Amino acid sequence: MLARSDVRFTVVLDDPSFTFNASHFLTFPIENDKGATVWAAEPIHGHDFKVSVRIEGPLDESGCVVDFLAASRALRKITGSWNHDLALARTARGVSYATNGDKTRVLYEVAPKLEYVFPTNAIRWLDASNVSTEEIAYQLLDEFTRELDALGVLAYDIDAYTVTLRLEESPHCAVEVAARGPAA
């Protein structure tokens, strides 16, 4: 017979309501006509991002890893807060930003030289140098683990769990990021 101490349980949260639409763009290095490396940006575009989460950890006194409903509400709250946002990287190369009141100007400094103006309250700032799907997944995982901790829905310290977030940018293209607890 298996000893309970040798077993880890995993809860999977995967629901269509964990989907949000957001826009972003990536910056990348290119060589200019003088042979120097400069940073260019792709056009702003959007995705219907789909999120799922796996929470692996010990059972609590009621025989559960986590309350499914509470964890689902937390994830739905986070994905809902991202819906229709423009994600921007604070330290993106090749791009400059200027905020004036309720408007933020985004200027591509190299190719293509474009300028956009967006409502400031529609921008989701990431402390990153690029807004890759990996960086978005990292931000979502951070928000989700902090929310679980704040809600007190985990019986043990967050470090007792491994939380893995999967972010699908488009069909067949996804990123997974994990906040690892102790080795099983």
Is 77 in contact with 49 (CB distance < 8 Å)? no
pLDDT at 183 > cutoff 60:
no
* Per CATH, domain 4-27+45-91+122-179 is 3.30.479.10: yes
| 41 backbone dihedrals φ, ψ, rounded to 5° | -130, 140
Per-residue pLDDT reduced to its tens digit, 72-102: 999 999 999 999 999 999 999 999 999 999 9
Per-residue pLDDT reduced to its tens digit, 138-170: 999 999 999 998 998 888 888 889 999 999 999
Binned at pLDDT 50, 70 and 90, residue 184 comes out as very low
Q: In whole numbers, what is the pLDDT of the chain averaged over residues?
A: 92
Quote the pLDDT of residue 85: 97
Q: b/e string for 126-142 if b means 16 or more Cβ within 10 A?
A: bebebbbbebbbbbbbe
CA 3 to chain centre: 36
pLDDT at 20 > cutoff 60:
yes
Strands (DSSP E) along the chain, which ranges? 9-24, 27-31, 37-41, 45-57, 85-89, 95-100, 103-108, 115-119, 123-126, 162-170, 173-179
